Structure 1
Amino acid sequence: MDAILSMLAGNLLAPTILFFLLGLIAAVTRSDLSMPEGAAKIMSIYLLFAIGFKGGANLISNGLTWQTFATLGAGAALSFVIPFIAFFLLKLMTRLDDLNAAAVAGHYGSISIVTFVTATSLLELNGMEFEGYMVAVAAVMEVPAILSALWIAGSKGNATQSRKKLVRDIVGNGSIVLLVGSFIIGAITGKEGLQDLDPFIVVPFTGILCLFLLDMGLSAGRSILENRHYLTPGLFGFGCLMPLIAALLGFGMGSLVGLSDGGVFLLMVLAASASYIAVPAAMKIALPQAQSGIYLTMSLGVTFPFNIAIGIPLYLWIATL
């Protein structure tokens, strides 16, 4: 037990997690701490570029195997199934109507790329290896959850709007384009390309991630303050329980396809995270009547802080059992 607590405490004290907590505390205490306008966007572009490029370079170094395709399929299946479980729990634990429950559920099948990047950084700090193609799994898991949410909403009599625009926005989403594009370029250039960009995408990566998570902590704290009237005990409980259930599903899938401990951990993190970029944009188009204050507060204000502060260290411990 002492070893378990020591490991959890060590992971909680990682610089990335502590900077997020600093931003969260600063926001809740109404500090005037803030990041320069536009800085967060520049840092997010850098992080997506770096993680995508490194993933592609690592993939080509290790080669394509049956496990690669099995893991991609497992990720897509998790993304599609999780919203149905989330919808069932929401109807059981909260008083949300079908439309808002479907919109919230869709966020939990998709992924938070920032949570994923934080998890990969923690693995690197601990010297643990993981499959380089996991970044491709992250990209695959963006879309199926949106389809599930629309399926649920449609089955409950909530017609979607502008389907062509929705598909166009999903395919052209900047985060997905940059992540997938960087991954492909990394795969094309391989180890040589990674060596050329090493001083730019490897050395400063953790420092930039710390600053970005400081800003995310500020955003999450302010979202909680502004939308706290939405946070009923049932919703808050769901926001903490659903990631744990999804992480266990990710653990099962990762173990089934034979991933390394690091790979299992990353699949758990992807399954447990909730989108606050791609899915909210899709819901505004497809389910405009759904209340954005509810689903954004749940994904960014509750589940994101839970995963960063508690979930990630817990999932890493479970993955290494």
Structure 2
Amino acid sequence: MNNFLDPAILFFVFGAFAGLIKSNLEIPQPIARFLSLYLLMALGLKGGFALQKSGFTQEIGLALGLAIFLAIIIPIIAYALLRTRLNNYDSAAIAATYGSVSAVTFITATQFLSNQDIPYGGHMAAAMALMESPAIILAIVLANKARVSSTSKAQSIGLSKVLHESFTDGAQLLLLGSMAVGMLSGEDGQRIMAPFSIDLFKGMLAFFLLDMGLMAAKNFSGIKGKPLIVLLYALVAPLVHAGIALVLCTLLKLPLGDTILLMVLAASASYIAVPAVLRHALPEVNPALYMGMSLGITFPFNIILGIPLYSFAAQLLR
């Protein structure tokens, strides 16, 4: 209940309401883009400052390794399941969407942990960056395989372009670059940047979630008329993926905060990085399908109910 009454979450709900009643309320795209970049920079700085204090330990290595493993295994499982009901292209697109991650969901989860006084490692920002690309690459490989075996004349999409777009994405570079700045500047940098990266963070997140609520309401219609498995997957997959992460984190005895964040990352679905790549790499798929699932259903579920639920489950097993 405390999470639902958080101002940032309430602004998301308000934005979704405004979108559903078809209000003309909107956040100009340049401002929304700035807010997104601000949140990534602030998160990267926080992570860099924390890493400068803790250093690179075996525990951090385990967490990062597990993040990469989850980013590989989740889209493989998703594709194998979805292709029993959907065509190969739709299955690959959805697998990429749910195998990748949502930075805003992650950022919201870090704020939730801060509100609950649950510590987490600064390296988790790096874990998020590492989880963004593997699913996209796997999806393109699967789609190219389908094209080769198809009788159509569609050409396979070269992996080199996909790899370049995945690893030079501006948002991802900003996150990693900010982490590097935080690590290099240390405590002095943290003190100087505190008014920017800490004091403004909550308000900026609330403003951005207002825009995300508006977008979620607009994208919900993207799943109308789709097979029932699409709706079920958008609701059930986050719980299953978070459960897989919880089991693995428990076996590896990772700290509570890191466990919750890995559960959130596993449960989230991309609605920025993946659509940007798939529009060119998988033209056979209507973006309304995976955008409607990730932004219309999974994102609101995770923001409102998922994050506190994953936290409760992780604490229950402690």
Please give the TM-score of this superposition, normalised by the length of structure 2. Answer: 0.93
CA-CA distance at 1:255 after TM superposition:
2.1
For residue 55 of structure 1, the aligned residue among 47, 50, 63 is 47
Shift in Å at residue 311 of structure 1? 0.8
Q: Which residue of 2 aligns with 1:90?
A: 82
Alpha-carbon offset, residue 257 of structure 1: 2.9
Give the Cα–Cα distance (whole angstroms) in 2 for the partners of residues 246 and 148 of structure 1.
Answer: 17
1:304 pairs with 2:309: no
Distance 2:30 2:225 in 1: 29
- The counterpart of 1:45, out of the listed 32, 37, 42, is 37
Task: Report the equivalent of 2:235.
Answer: 240
- Please tell me whether the aligned partners of residues 115 and 307 of structure 1 are also in contact (alpha carbons under 8 angstroms): yes
TM-aligned CA deviation for residue 320 of structure 1: 1.3
Distance in 2, matches of 1:150 and 1:303, equals: 23
Distance 2:253 2:191 in 1: 29
Question: How is 1:40-189 mapped onto 2 (pairs within 5 angstroms)?
Answer: 40-92=32-84, 95-157=85-147, 160-189=156-185
For residue 14 of structure 2, what is the aligned residue in structure 1? 22
1:190 equivalenced with 2:186 (yes/no)? yes
TM-score by length of 1: 0.92
Q: Deviations over 1:228-259 (max 9, x none)?
A: 43444321111010000110111122223322
User: Which stretch of the first structure deviates more once superposed, 168-177 or 107-116?
Assistant: 168-177
RMSD: 1.5
Structure 1, unmatched stretches of 5+, are: 1-8
| 1:47-78 deviation line (CA, Å, top 9, x unaligned) | 00000011011011011101111111100010
Contact 2:271–2:294 (8 Å) recurs in 1: yes
Tell me the SS of whatever aligns to 1:11: coil
- Cα distance in 2 for partners of 1:60, 1:254 equals 24
Closer, same or farther in 2 for the Cα pair 1:215/1:243, shift >3 Å?
Answer: same
One-letter amino acid matched to 2:11: F
1:258 maps to 2:253: yes
Distance 1:14 1:231 in 2: 34
Runs of 5+ in structure 2 lacking a partner? 149-154
| In 1: Cα distance, 2:40 partner to 2:284 partner | 31
CA, structure 1 residues 160+78, in 2 after alignment: closer, same or farther (shift >3 Å)?
Answer: farther
Residue number in structure 1 paired with 2:151: none
Contact 1:16 1:210 in 2 (8 A): yes
Q: For residue 169 of structure 1, report the CA deviation from its aligned partner.
A: 1.2
Give the letter for the 1:22 counterpart.
F
1:249 is aligned, of 244, 258, 266, to: 244
2:311 alignment partner in structure 1? 316
Is the Cα–Cα contact under 8 Å of residues 263 and 310 in structure 2 kept in the other structure? yes
Percent same amino acid among aligned pairs?
41
- In the alignment of these two chains, the number of paired residues is 310
